[in-house]
Structure 1
């Protein structure tokens, strides 16, 4: 019912320290996908979809946070899942990637992975949805723009290829989540966004991202001004 992308990016922060960020973005022709499919922490990102088992994402991130490699964590969870043939599960951690599509997922379904990303989808118009989502991310992987913005672009590329094939379902949703190893007491609002019910999920997610970015910048400016005034 979905297509999604998970990524890992290493970068250097303003202090010159090495950091890693993880992101996941997803869209589908059903409401509320952000409550079910995307999971992320400072240690990894996971998307669980098709016939969704939320515990695969929730426990998967818990296991990765506990130090288990993502491949071992997700294999273990799938091996204990009676509905494994209907599951689609993928993600990244600090060192590796994992992709799985059960034999009874609804077509078109499939996945793709690269050094720092995984993409998967089911009930799609075709393979090009996954291919274009991955291509868009790869081509902008080294861009200086925030990861959240580039994840929206990746979803937009897949959506333009047809996305979810169930055109009779007009109520759609989209979500993104970005986490980082970098400690920041003012975590940007645009790193955790959901559009739960709309007919234009990518457009609305992009608008929410832009508004959240403006709101975050305005809040930082206001609080910094108030702090400077208090210190003077």
Structure 2
């Protein structure tokens, strides 16, 4: 019912300090995916999907905050979950990645892990959806590194959608979401780093338009109140 991407990116802030940004983006052929599946903080990013168990995302973030590595945290949660065969769970922490697809997930279901990202999906048109999402992120991480991570994650989902996306064409009402966080202590978090489109027939197009407007509004506010 869903495909998503979780990412960890190192960068150097304006003061020359090493930082990390974490992001997760997700889309599905059901409404309200942003309320259930994506989780991110300054410690990592997690997506829980298929037969979604929100507690896996919530507790996963708690474990990361407590200092557990993402692979240890998510594996421990799955081991205690009687419904794990129907779950998909993946994410990134400060150093590791983790991806799991239960044997009873429906349709084509699977995942891919890179050095700093994970992609997973179920009830998809095929493996090409996950591959296209991952490949697009890898390309954009190099070619468009100056673009905000939120935009690049939305673009990666767009590539997956173009490769077939969620196969349930009979479900018109869809949704999408993107969340980006950072270890950097900033006075103002960019408005475009936490966006949701909860019910629409064109989720990625609408999320991309929402991002563009949020970015424009953020930059206009910075310009207007720069002196203050």
TM-score (norm 2): 0.98
Unpaired runs of 5+ in structure 2? none
Aligned mates of 1:224, 1:130 — CA distance in 2: 41
TM superposition shift of 1:62: 0.8
* Corresponding position: 1:101 with 2:134: no
Corresponding residue number in structure 1 for 2:195: 193
TM superposition shift of 1:104: 0.2
Give structure 1 regions of 4+ aligned residues with deviation exceeding 3 angstroms: none
Corresponding residue number in structure 1 for 2:40: 40
Aligned mates of 2:140, 2:226 — CA distance in 1: 32
Corresponding residue number in structure 1 for 2:25: 25
Corresponding residue number in structure 1 for 2:85: 85
What is the number of equivalent residue pairs in this alignment?
226
Q: Give runs of aligned pairs for residues 192-211 of structure 1, distance below 5 A.
A: 192-211=194-213
3-state secondary structure, aligned to 1:186:
coil
* Corresponding position: 1:131 with 2:94: no
Corresponding residue number in structure 2 for 1:57: 57
Q: Give runs of aligned pairs for residues 115-154 of structure 1, distance below 5 A.
A: 115-142=115-142, 143-154=145-156
Corresponding residue number in structure 2 for 1:157: 159
TM superposition shift of 1:167: 0.3
Q: Give runs of aligned pairs for residues 179-190 of structure 1, distance below 5 A.
A: 179-190=181-192
3-state secondary structure, aligned to 2:23:
strand
Corresponding residue number in structure 2 for 1:2: 2
Corresponding residue number in structure 1 for 2:226: 224
3-state secondary structure, aligned to 1:155:
helix
Structure index of larger Rg: 1
TM superposition shift of 1:14: 1.0
Unpaired runs of 5+ in structure 1? 228-232
Corresponding residue number in structure 1 for 2:168: 166
TM superposition shift of 1:224: 2.0
TM superposition shift of 1:82: 1.1
3-state secondary structure, aligned to 1:224:
coil
Corresponding residue number in structure 2 for 1:230: none
Aligned mates of 1:217, 1:179 — CA distance in 2: 18
Aligned mates of 2:14, 2:139 — CA distance in 1: 24
